[in-house]
Structure 1
């Protein structure tokens, strides 16, 4: 099994530990669907799941230091050290907002690249920026970081991005 879900004492704060494998992206989407359904927030699933997928993919590709997926043989899966710390996705619902946060063992913050529409990768943070109200990251005590994205439920319209002119690409200590 690739995940162990933890429900805190607060039902509006839930986390799921993900195994360091590409299947973790699917697990994160399923976790997001179940959680948003439980909260009655199905209408924001598409946006939150897209962002969750991008944040987990970034953690797998960059934070765990694995090779580009195109260079990994299809049968072997990603090359991840056996002692690698897990990736964790957390969802927090504090009306009228939902936060999707992904923590990983790297202390290096995410960097949005210049959009290259011909490249097969490199647009993930641009998608996060487009589909969330704001996003940012924080270092964790000791080691690691958490990358988060904020969604405003009150203005959520299925299939549309929630835009805001402030709060983008913040890093807080």
Structure 2
């Protein structure tokens, strides 16, 4: 029997390699869930939202990694919707803008707005912000309990304490809010 609800998350540090790590995580997760038909759109959304989180934190030097450099990526399958959620400790408000034709950047949120069914931001009680995007799945994913692998710890050690608690609390708050709406 296919599962209708699943989630997985990854905690990262705002380094230049974070976007490729998040894309690899999303690709692996979507394959596991049998949701490869939305892979291209989901990976582009992950790339844009993670890029914004890395820019918001500013890349640290190795010795200067603090809680502000930690952010989380969560993929959540809820029935026929896939949610891409990125938490960071920033407080700036994100809005899609119309860049000039010769601008090299500034199109990320326009892409997210175009590809996603809905998108937005929220401020969890743990602090920071979550930027989320919803993709409608055209069919039920084929995830079954037999296809779920054991979770392997990520190769990067995330700071412990307040930084980790904030990431986990913010992302879990989003899951709880979704469950309460059911």
TM-score (normalised: structure 2)? 0.68
The 1:120–1:79 alpha-carbon spacing in structure 2 relative to 1, beyond 3 Å, is farther
Aligned pairs, number? 134
Is residue 81–residue 134 contact of structure 2 (8 Å, CA) maintained in 1?
yes
Equivalent in the alignment of 2:66: 83
1:93 partnered with 2:87: no
| Unaligned 5+ runs, structure 1 | 1-9, 67-77, 157-173
Question: What corresponds to 1:49 in structure 2?
Answer: 43
State the secondary structure of the residue aligned to 2:18.
helix
Give the deviation of 1:148 after TM superposition.
0.1
Displacement after TM superposition at 1:11 (Å)? 7.2
Counterpart-to-counterpart distance in 2, 1:120 and 1:26: 20
CA–CA distance in 1 between the matches of 2:25 and 2:132? 16
Cα deviations by residue, 1:75-126 (Å, 9 ceiling, x for unpaired): xxx3465213311000000121000000000122212222222111111100
Cα-Cα RMSD:
2.0
Q: What's the CA shift string for 1:141-171, capped at 9, x where partnerless?
A: 1420000000000279xxxxxxxxxxxxxxx
Q: Normalized per residue, which structure has more helix?
A: 2
CA displacement at 1:53 relative to structure 2: 0.3
Secondary structure of the residue that 1:12 maps to in structure 2? strand
Matched residue, 2:114: 130
* Distance in structure 1 (CA, Å) of the matches to 2:94 and 2:104: 18
Is the 2:122–2:129 Cα contact (8 Å) retained in structure 1?
yes
Please give the alpha-carbon distance, in whole angstroms, between the structure 1 residues aligned to 2:33 and 2:97: 34
> What TM-score do the two structures reach when normalised by structure 1?
0.72
**Is contact 2:30–2:39 with CA below 8 Å preserved after alignment?**
yes
Asked if the contact 1:116–1:123 (Cα under 8 Å) also holds between the matched residues in 2, the reply is no
CA distance in 2, matches of 1:142, 1:41: 30
Structure 2 gap ranges (5+): 141-182
